[in-house]
Amino acid sequence: MTEWGWVLCLGGIYWLISLLTLALGFATDYAVPFWPPAGVGVALLLLYGRSALIAIFGAALATDLYLEFTLVTLAAGIPNAFAATLQAYIGFRLARTLLRSRASLVRDRDITRFLLLVGPFTCLIAPTCGVLTRLVTEQVSHDELASEWLLWWSGDTLGVLLFAPLAWILFGRKRAHETSGKIGMYRVVPPLLALSLLLGAGHLLLSHI
């Protein structure tokens, strides 16, 4: 398959997961309380490298235009797609940096770095850019700005924490054979689930305020 064929396939995967998430009724307005594509983007980059960047950008933009095809949506969708792509790329680079360690995913500090950096910290990018873009294009009011940002951030963070590690663990196991290291999956899953449950509970409380 050609390089552009791979780009289309990867973009199709991202886009279909986006549409499935929307079809399941997770969306309340624009921000989504649980957004798997945020983690899928990191996973695609881990598995297929930088060729996935164009796919993520195109699929993210196509998702915005699928919701509403207008000039305003296009104007907001381009920077939003760029922010989603940048967010996935930074998450990918941080994950790759952690994977370089021979004992990666075995040490507690590596697990903590992943939970804090690849998830909550990285996911500051798309929500911040997204809500500001929607504010400028008058798609959200000042009163809704904080709740929109928190909803967006929690959705992206949950998506990254739950989906990116699946590819990370598989990728790490391949490297483990090369370095004779061992991936302690049992060390990753409990804190990952605990943090995800806390974020999910926080979102539920936020949505009822």
pLDDT of residue 179: 38
Which range, 3-7, 20-24, 40-44, 66-70, has the best average confidence (pLDDT)? 40-44
Which candidate, 117, 7, 121, places its Cα nearest to that of 56?
7
pLDDT of residue 106: 46
* Cα–Cα dist 85/67, whole Å: 19
Please say whether the beta carbons of 110 and 101 come within 8 A.
yes
* pLDDT over 70, % of the chain: 66
User: For 168-195, what is the mean pLDDT?
Assistant: 50
User: For 157-165, what is the mean pLDDT?
Assistant: 82
- Give a three-class secondary structure readout of 18-81: HHHHHHCCCCCCCCCCCCHHHHHHHHHHHHHHHHHHHHHHHHHHHHHHHHCCCHHHHHHHHHHH
* Cα–Cα dist 26/188, whole Å: 27
Torsion of CA 65, 68, 71, 77, to 10 degrees: -40
pLDDT of residue 74: 87
- pLDDT tens for each residue of 114-151: 777 788 889 999 999 989 998 888 888 888 888 888 88
In the chain, what are the domain boundaries? 3-207
- pLDDT tens for each residue of 20-48: 888 876 555 566 777 889 988 998 888 88
* Cα–Cα dist 56/7, whole Å: 9
Question: Does the pLDDT value for residue 188 go beyond 60?
Answer: no
Placement of tokens 């549409």 in the chain: 19
* Cα–Cα dist 10/42, whole Å: 12
pLDDT of residue 208: 52
- pLDDT tens for each residue of 82-108: 999 999 999 988 877 776 554 444 455
pLDDT of residue 99: 60
* Cα–Cα dist 163/160, whole Å: 5
User: For 174-179, what is the mean pLDDT?
Assistant: 42
Pick the CATH number of 3-207 from 1.10.3470, 3.30.310, 1.10.1760, 1.10.40: 1.10.1760
